[in-house]
Amino acid sequence: EVQLLESGGGWVQPGGSLRLSCAASGFTFSNYAMSWVRQAPGKGLEWVSGISGSGGGTYYADSVKGRFTISRDNSKNTLYLQMNSPRAEDTAFYYCAKGQVVVVNWGQGALVTVSS
Amino acid sequence: QSALTQPASVSGSPGQSITISCTGTSSDVGGYNYVSWYQQHPGKAPKLMIFDVSNRPSGVSNRFSGSKSGNTASLTISGLLAEDEADYYCSSYRNSSTFYVFGTGTKVTVL
């Protein structure tokens, strides 16, 4: 059974930094592209970033480009999202997702609150 | 980066069929067969219902079907059930720096 478990969410001040992690199990992690998708409270889904299975290809939404960095450690079956200089509008549930163009499995989400 | 356009809400009675539209451009919906649809119940993670325009993952009811014409994709739910009441999002690959985009979301209400 595929499991995606996010951690690292919480409160962060504007301009600070936070790193989300996603521990994956139940599939061969290195064979799959992965993504981060976010959802502000009461709002719609927004794709944030994606990474190829090898980690050699990374992609970002314009709204986070230059501030967020996606990475993965295939030896640890873990996906990361480094959030630098977050803004109030980055407040959202962040979902770890298996796949990129088609998201087959989703984690339960980690809430990130950006506030002073 | 602009989201794909969906109606804010669609409603129907049990047993009826409803259709949700998803309008994009030739750079996304119209240009590629990489349209997916997701169902999201309140407080839950999204669930993949349709991928590559019209394919259903294993375990998804055949009451759900997808199609595309030009720059508009559609999700049809037939034989509407109370459990179908949820938010639905389309998504598509986009040939730009954006790479991937979701729709604005549609709330389906079963009357």
Q: What is the pLDDT of residue B1?
A: 61
Q: Which residue of A59, A62, A106 is in closest CB contact with B45?
A: A106
Q: Tell me what pLDDT residue B85 has.
A: 98
Cα nearest neighbour of A51 on chain B: B99
Query: Residues B66-91: pLDDT tens digits?
Result: 999 999 999 999 999 999 999 999 99
CB contact under 8 A, B38 and A45: yes
Q: Do A63 and B104 touch (CB under 8 A)?
A: no
Q: Which residues of chain B have a CB within 8 Å of the CB of A95?
A: 45-46
Please report the pLDDT score of residue A37 as a whole number. Answer: 96
Nearest CA in chain B to A62: B98
Contact residues, chain B, for A101 at CB < 8 Å? 34, 36, 93, 100
Counting residues of chain A whose pLDDT is more than 90, the rounded percentage is 97
Which pLDDT belongs to residue B38? 98
Task: Give me A85's structure tokens.
Answer: 């200089």
- Residue of A5, A34, A45 to mutate for B, most B C-beta atoms under 10 A: A45
Asked whether the beta carbons of A36 and A20 are under 8 A apart, the reply is yes
> How far apart are the CA of A115 and the nearest CA of chain B, in angstroms?
23
Which residue, among B34, B44, B53, B99, would best test binding to A if mutated, counting the most A CBs under 10 Å from its CB? B99
Q: Is the pLDDT of residue B98 over 80?
A: no
A83-109 residue pLDDT tens: 999 999 999 999 999 998 889 899 999
Residues of A in contact with B104 (CB under 8 A): 44
Q: What is chain B's mean pLDDT, rounded?
A: 95
For residue A6, what pLDDT is reported?
A: 97
**Three-state secondary structure along chain A?**
CCEEEEECCEEECCCCEEEEEEEEECCCHHHCCEEEEEECCCCCEEEEEEECCCCCCEEECCCCCCCEEEEEECCCCEEEEEEECCCHHHCEEEEEEECCCCCCEECCCEEEEECC
pLDDT digits (tens, 9 = 90+) for A35-83: 999 999 999 999 999 999 999 999 999 999 999 999 999 999 999 999 9
Report pLDDT for B95: 83
Average the pLDDT over B6-22 and give the result.
Answer: 97
Split at pLDDT 50, 70, 90, the class of B97 is: confident
